Amino acid sequence: MAMIRPLSEALTGTTVEVPAGQPILEVKDLALRFGGTTAVGGVSFDVKPGELFSIIGPNGAGKTSIFNCISGVYRPQEGSIDFLGDSLLGVRPDAVAGRGIARMFQNIELFDNLTVLDNLMLGRHQHLDYGSFAGMLYVGKAKRIELENRRIVEDVIDFLEIEMFRKFPVGMLPYGVKKRVELGRALCMEPKLLLLDEPVAGMNVEETEDMARFILDIRQELGLAMIMVEHDMGLVMDLADRIMVLDFGKRISIGDPESVQNDPAVIKAYLGEGDEGEADGEDLGARTEALATEEVSS
């Protein structure tokens, strides 16, 4: 009897096998420059299986750029990125997805004209193992695979409590629901590593709590490794196993929440050396945000 399945039964491909003590993702001396500006200037870190690794830092610090390097959208000039022992350098974004890395974007990147269902089914693109011609006939194998995957998508819909929006075009949904759909789309990819770029930015307290609950549930049910970029310090301190702090493309601190919180370098960067420095940082942040948005959505 088919009841609502827990995520762990619907998404069985998220488990990873790495030798004990080995990281799932290893980034070494990563450097990315745009002309004169250095977005990422030699950053190293690793993510262990099942770990929730958080990256924080002011706007323009290079957090999104690191994600873009991992997903293959940008090609770093220096350094290495190894995922499950294989290099990701020069691997195209769709192939990175195929290796098991899914992503939620800072500025929602959903397919506005498509329904919630179709957006989630797009997350399953690489799991739909039938050709275009079989799709045209839509009988036998293609139909069976579509239905099997529709069930998985429905399980994710149930998990995220977005049943009532199933058939709505995503473009007309409220912001908080869109963020959930984007998380759902990434989940449907059945990833081994999930990248979350400011998952609660612009949300009210209630929506933030919902999102935190989903992230915790995903951890608990799937044991999925995640990298979370976030400005909400409360959320980061509560959820993260380890935190890396970036400033102007440099790693200024890394460690567990407590040690990072008490790191003098972090305190200095966050409180700034007088008003002048802070204002400068924000200005730069706003500028780069605009740039990044333009690049990704053009």
Ligand X SMILES: Nc1ncnc2c1ncn2[C@@H]1O[C@H](COP(=O)(O)OP(=O)(O)O)[C@@H](O)[C@H]1O
Closest CA to 231 of 268, 203, 262: 203
Closest CA to 126 of 67, 65, 192: 192
- From candidates 9, 94, 161, 283, binder to other proteins by CB under 8 A: 94
Q: How far, in Å, CA of 145 to CA of 142, rounded?
A: 5
**Strand duo 25-34 + 78-83: pairing:** antiparallel
CB distance 72 to 237 below 8 Å: no
Q: Quote the least distance from Cβ 226 to ligand X, whole Å.
A: 17
Residue 142's binding partner among other proteins, Mg ion, ligand X, none (Cβ under 5 to 8 angstroms by kind) is other proteins
Strand order in the sheet with 25-34: 37-47, 25-34, 78-83, 86-87
* Window of 128-136, 215-223, 244-252, 253-261 that interacts with other proteins by CB under 8 A: 128-136
**Strand duo 225-229 + 52-56: pairing:** parallel
Residues 142 to 201: which contact Mg ion by CB under 5 A?
Answer: none
Contact flags string 144-163 toward other proteins, x per CB under 8 A = --xx--xx--x---x----x
Q: What is the CA radius of gyration of the chain?
A: 20
- 289 scored as a contact of other proteins (CB under 8 A): no
Q: Quote the least distance from Cβ 254 to ligand X, whole Å.
A: 16
- 61 scored as a contact of ligand X (CB under 6 A): yes
98 Cβ contact partners less than 8 Å away, ≥ 6 residues apart: 126
Torsion of CA 108, 114, 117, 122, to 10 degrees: -70
**Six token digits for residue 19:** 């030798």
Exposed e or buried b for every residue in 277-290, given b needs 16+ CB within 10 A? eeeebeebeeebee
- From candidates 63, 185, 219, 242, binder to other proteins by CB under 8 A: 185
* Window of 15-23, 78-86, 129-137, 257-265 that interacts with other proteins by CB under 8 A: 129-137
Q: Quote the least distance from Cβ 235 to other proteins, whole Å.
A: 24
**Six token digits for residue 181:** 């759909």
Closest CA to 162 of 207, 111, 127: 207
> In one letter, which amino acid is 198?
E
- 135 scored as a contact of other proteins (CB under 8 A): yes
- From candidates 59, 80, 115, 126, binder to ligand X by CB under 6 A: 59
* Window of 61-69, 94-102, 208-216, 232-240 that interacts with ligand X by CB under 6 A: 61-69
- 285 scored as a contact of other proteins (CB under 8 A): no
Sign of CA dihedral 178, 180, 183, 185: negative
* Nearer Cβ to ligand X (117/203): 203
Residues 96 to 115: which contact Mg ion by CB under 5 A?
Answer: 106
- From candidates 64, 71, 208, 288, binder to other proteins by CB under 8 A: 71
Contacting residues toward ligand X, per CB under 6 A: 34, 37, 39, 57, 59-65, 285, 288, 291-292, 295
Contacting residues toward other proteins, per CB under 8 A: 1-4, 71-73, 92-94, 96-98, 103, 105, 109-114, 118, 121-123, 125-126, 128, 130, 132, 135-138, 142-143, 146-147, 150-151, 154, 158, 163, 166, 185, 189, 296-297
